[in-house]
Amino acid sequence: MSKKVNIKTIAADLNVSPSTVSKALKDSHEISEETRKKIQAYAKYYNYKPNSLALSLRNQRTMTLGLIVPEIVHHFFSRVIYGVESVANEKDYNLMICLSKDNLEKEKQNIEMLTNGSVDGLLVSVAKETFEKGDFSHFEHLLEQGFPIVFFDRVPDNINTDKVVVDDVAGGYKATMHLIENGLKKIGILSTPPHVTVGNDRERGYRKALKENKINIEDSYTIHINEKEDISQQIAQLLKLPDRPKGLFAVNEKYAAIALQEAKKLDINIPEELSVIGFTDGYISKYTSPTLTTIAQHGYTMGAKAAEMLLNKLLNKTDNSLGQTYVISTNVVKREST
């Protein structure tokens, strides 16, 4: 069990001062070649590595970014993390990932933890509960202090800060247009309850597309899924309508996949009798049968962009760019279900 060395122990062992060791290790010209070589050899042999805590304390920066996501067991967020990690690593920044579990209290705890010196900046996607309760005080507090922070995907509406989002309205519009362009007119939507902004926005896009094409909006074609109850059954109801839709836009991948399953049970052929389009570039879509056409959300890009914005704030001290919003555009990924 070889002991852990640090600058002071090296200094003691070699009968020099800590300052000399520090300088020697950075190839300072102040140190004679002889001592320099000696110290470097010793450091290498004993595998000296500077303590990052001490460095952070001294330099007043940690070279790590904080990342708060509601969930990690979710393909989209995994992609985001991947994107963040890639650009952070390129600039020698590390990541500290925390889960809020869509819980306000946990989110506050995370914020507190991370902002007590552990990280230089923060990337956050806000918890559902935070939206429901409308309590953004923890973020406002941070912004007052000028703490660098960038929101992504689920962003607070009425806070003026940097954010990167996907254009959900346009996404819903594109999805619906895709169905319309395939000659469909009777188009249903599987959406979320109205307080979930992403679902709501996508639904707005859906309505916009229908209106523009002068298609009547049939109320019974809109289902607001209640996740507390049996999802399959709610979807089946739509499919059992006497005059059921020929096209179906699901605001997320899960609803789309379940719709596929239910259609199969009811012997509805896809895409001949029913076209289905989902949302999110997830895991599932590629492996359902038929494979699912979806709207790609570009999680990787979103993470990368958010990290880039944050790093810009950290590196260019010129804080002119206040309250920028970057919008990631979506696109249709055509597969077998339409």
Partner DNA sequence: TTTTATCCCGAAAACGTTTTCGTGTTGACA
Partner DNA sequence: TGTCAACACGAAAACGTTTTCGGGATAAAA
156 binds, among its own copies, DNA, none (CB under 5 to 8 A by kind): none
**φ, ψ of residue 276 in degrees (nearest 5):** -125, 135
Q: Which of 55/322 has CB closer to DNA?
A: 55
Q: Tell me the sheet residues that pair with 122.
A: 66, 149
Q: Which of 26/49 has CB closer to its own copies?
A: 49
* 60-99 residues near DNA, rule: CB under 7 A: 60
The contacts of residue 263 (CB under 8 Å, 6+ apart) are 239, 270, 274, 276
Rg of the chain over CA atoms, in angstroms? 27
The Cα 6–Cα 330 span in angstroms is: 51
| Residue 33 within binding range of DNA, rule CB under 7 A | yes
Vertex 196: Cα angle to 334 and 210 (nearest 5):
50
The Cα 133–Cα 122 span in angstroms is: 22
Q: How far is the CB of 78 from its own copies (least distance, A)?
A: 4
261 binds, among DNA, its own copies, none (CB under 5 to 8 A by kind): its own copies
169 binds, among DNA, its own copies, none (CB under 5 to 8 A by kind): none
The Cα 297–Cα 224 span in angstroms is: 21
Q: How far is the CB of 23 from DNA (least distance, A)?
A: 5
Distance of CA 331 to the CA centre of its chain: 18
Binding site for its own copies (CB under 8 A): 1-4, 47, 49-54, 56-57, 62, 64, 72-75, 78-79, 81-82, 85, 94-99, 112-113, 115-118, 141, 144-146, 254, 257-258, 260-261, 264, 282-284, 287-289, 291
Q: Would you mind telling me the total number of residues written for the chain in this entry?
A: 338
Q: How far is the CB of 106 from its own copies (least distance, A)?
A: 8
240 binds, among its own copies, DNA, none (CB under 5 to 8 A by kind): none
Biggest CA pair distance of the chain: 91
The Cα 248–Cα 338 span in angstroms is: 9
Strands across the sheet with 325-328, in order?
94-99, 64-69, 121-124, 149-152, 162-166, 325-328
Q: How far is the CB of 96 from DNA (least distance, A)?
A: 18
31 binds, among DNA, its own copies, none (CB under 5 to 8 A by kind): DNA
Number of residues engaging DNA in binding (CB under 7 A): 33
| Residue 19 within binding range of DNA, rule CB under 7 A | yes
| Residue 32 within binding range of DNA, rule CB under 7 A | yes
Q: Which of 118/329 has CB closer to its own copies?
A: 118
The Cα 302–Cα 154 span in angstroms is: 12
| Residue 51 within binding range of DNA, rule CB under 7 A | yes
The contacts of residue 145 (CB under 8 Å, 6+ apart) are none
- Interacting residue ranges for DNA, rule: CB under 7 A: 6-8, 15-20, 22-23, 25-26, 29-36, 48-51, 53-55, 57-60, 117
